[in-house]
Amino acid sequence: MKIIGLTGQSGAGKGAVAALFAEHGIPAVDTDAVYHELLVPPSPCLDELVAEFSDAILAPDGTLDRRTLAALVFEKTELGRKRHERLNEITHRYVIERTIALLAEYEKQGCKAAIIDAPLLIEAGLHRKCDCVIAVLADREIRSKRLIQRDNLSPEQISARLDAQPDVSFYIEHANFLIYNNGTAQELSACVSSLLTEVLA
Q: What's the pLDDT score for residue 156? A: 86
**86-117 residue pLDDT tens:** 999 999 999 999 999 999 999 999 999 999 99
d(CA 108, CA 117): 19
Query: What is the per-residue pLDDT for 28?
Result: 97
23 Cβ contact list (under 8 Å, min separation 6): none
> What's residue 168's pLDDT?
92
pLDDT for the residue numbered 189: 96
Instruction: Tell me whether the omega of the peptide bond preceding residue 60 falls within 30 degrees of 0, making it cis.
Output: no
Residue 24's pLDDT is what?
94
Q: How far is CA 60 from CA 57, 65, 146, 163, 169, in A?
A: 10, 9, 30, 30, 42
Spell out the residues 6+ positions from residue 136 whose beta carbon is closer than 8 angstroms to its own: 6, 7, 8, 9, 12, 13, 14, 17, 179, 181
pLDDT of residue 48: 97
- CA 56-61-62 angle, to 5 degrees, is 50
Q: Where are the beta strands (DSSP E) in the chain?
A: 2-8, 28-30, 113-117, 132-137, 177-180
What is the sign, positive or negative, of the torsion defined by CA atoms of 148, 16, 119, 104?
A: positive
Which among 117, 125, 103, 126 is positioned nearest to 1, based on CA atoms?
A: 103
Query: How far apart, in whole angstroms, are the C-alpha atoms of residue 130 and residue 201?
Result: 14
Angle subtended by helix axes 31-38 and 78-108, to nearest 10: 100
Chunked in runs of 10, what are the mean pLDDT values of the chain (201 residues)? 96 95 96 95 96 96 95 91 94 94 97 95 93 97 91 85 90 96 96 92 79
The residue type at 193: S
What is residue 115's predicted lDDT score, i.e. its pLDDT?
Answer: 98
